[in-house]
Each structure stands twice: as C-alpha cells, then as structure tokens.
C-alpha cells in the first residue's frame, strides 16, 4: 500500500511539474501518511477484538458472526460440488488465435504510432516499434499462460452464475 501510494504521488506531482524539493516533500508526506494509516487500521482491528464496550452489541455481533460462518460453510460445501469448467478450444488452437490477435493488435498500434509520429506529436519511432513488439509478446504469453487462464476464468464465472441460479444458496446479508 505504501509503495503504491508513493508511485501514484510521484506520477501525480510529476504531471504538474513541481520543483524537485517540493516533489520530494509531497512523496515523503504521502508515504508517511500511508504508513500511519496502516498502523491505525491495524491498531483499530486489534482493539475491536480485545475490547468489549457494549455487551448487547457484542452478543448481537457474535450471533451474527456464528450465523455467517454457518452460511459460508454451506456455500463452500456446495461450491466444492460444482463441476470443473470445460474448455471450448484446445490450448494449441487458442495459442494460434492469441498469436494472431497479438500480431494484428501490435500492427494496429505500430501504424497508429507512425501516424502520430508523422503528425509531429511523437518524438521517437523506436518507442513505437518497442511497444508493438512488447504488446505482441505480452498478449501471447498472457493468453497462453496457466492453460488458457482467461478462458477458464470466464467459464468458471459463467458456471458459478448458472449454479447459483439453479441452487438456492442463502446470501450473507439476509437471514435464513
């Protein structure tokens, strides 16, 4: 979280081109604030567990937590019975499709950047070549990685929606 906040702050303040000293001050302030926020959040979560201010509220909360645990266990047991997602295409076919997709996308990006370069709004043609090559390699690796993870994720979500619509699984926010 701290690193993320620092990166966002660097990007944000470099946009407005502040002086270097001011920029460093803002970055360090954001990092310190994020560290303090994380510390306060952890401290509050520990205090919530250890202290009990109102007995009535704690009794209600504990009974609600017990019911939620029961519902969550039921959902997990039903989810384990769910069938594995089937793949529509074999991995080799999907790899070929991803290769052609990345190829066409990289050429589209390449020509787009050439047009920008010709219109004198872009500084270097080498960056466009690099970006097109990077995009093609990245897309082919991402699509083919983990046995077509993108397609499997889509099918898993689709199967989960069908399974939940066919079986009455109680939601956590309403009583059974």
Helix (H) or strand (E) holding 82: none
Helix (H) or strand (E) holding 67: helix 55-80
Structure tokens at 42: 């952890």
- What is the rounded average pLDDT of the residues 29-45? 51
Q: Which of 57, 80, 103 is the last residue of a domain?
A: 80
Do 100 and 53 share a domain, yes or no?
no
Residue with the two structure tokens 């990245």: 138
Do 130 and 160 share a domain, yes or no?
yes
How many structural domains compose the chain? 2
134 within domain boundaries:
yes
116 within domain boundaries:
yes
What is the C-alpha to C-alpha distance for residues 87 and 147, in angstroms, rounded to an integer?
10
Owning domain of residue 52: 2-80
Query: What pLDDT is stored for residue 119 in this prediction?
Result: 64
Write down how long the chain is: 176
**Computed over its alpha carbons, how large is the radius of gyration of the chain?**
26
Contact 90, 98 (CB under 8 A): no
103 within domain boundaries:
yes
176 within domain boundaries:
no
Query: What pLDDT is stored for residue 174 in this prediction?
Result: 47
175 within domain boundaries:
no
101 within domain boundaries:
yes
Q: Which of 25, 51, 80 is the last residue of a domain?
A: 80
pLDDT surpassing 60 at residue 123 = no
- What is the rounded average pLDDT of the residues 133-155? 56
- What is the rounded average pLDDT of the residues 59-72? 57
Most confident of 18-27, 61-70, 111-120: 111-120
Do 68 and 107 share a domain, yes or no?
no
* Confidence (pTM): 0.23
Backbone angles phi, psi at 173, to 5 degrees: -95, -5
Do 69 and 30 share a domain, yes or no?
yes
Q: Give, rounded to a whole angstrom, the gap between the first and last alpha carbons of the chain.
A: 37
**Beta strand ranges found along the chain (DSSP E):** none
pLDDT digits (tens, 9 = 90+) for 94-122: 666 666 766 676 677 667 666 666 666 55
What is the C-alpha to C-alpha distance for residues 78 and 81, in angstroms, rounded to an integer?
5
Backbone angles phi, psi at 85, to 5 degrees: -70, 135
Q: On the CB side of 170, how many CA atoms lie within 13 Å of its CA?
A: 13
Helix (H) or strand (E) holding 19: none
């Amino acid at each position: 979280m701290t690193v993320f906040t620092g990166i966002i702050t660097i990007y944000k303040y470099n946009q407005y081109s502040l002086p270097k000293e001011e920029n460093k001050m803002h970055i360090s302030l954001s990092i310190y604030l994020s560290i303090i926020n994380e510390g306060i959040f952890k401290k509050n979560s520990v205090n919530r567990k250890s202290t009990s201010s109102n007995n009535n509220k704690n009794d209600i909360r504990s009974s609600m937590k017990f019911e939620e645990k029961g519902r969550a266990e039921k959902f997990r047991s039903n989810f384990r019975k769910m069938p594995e997602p089937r793949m529509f295409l074999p991995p080799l076919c999907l790899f070929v499709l991803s290769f052609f997709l990345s190829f066409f996308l990289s050429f589209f990006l390449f020509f787009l950047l050439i047009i920008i370069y010709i219109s004198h709004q872009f500084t270097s043609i080498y960056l466009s070549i690099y970006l097109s090559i990077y995009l093609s390699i990245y897309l082919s690796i991402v699509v083919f990685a983990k046995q077509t993870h993108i397609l499997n994720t889509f099918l898993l979500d689709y199967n989960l929606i069908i399974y939940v619509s066919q079986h009455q699984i109680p939601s956590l926010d309403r009583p059974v």
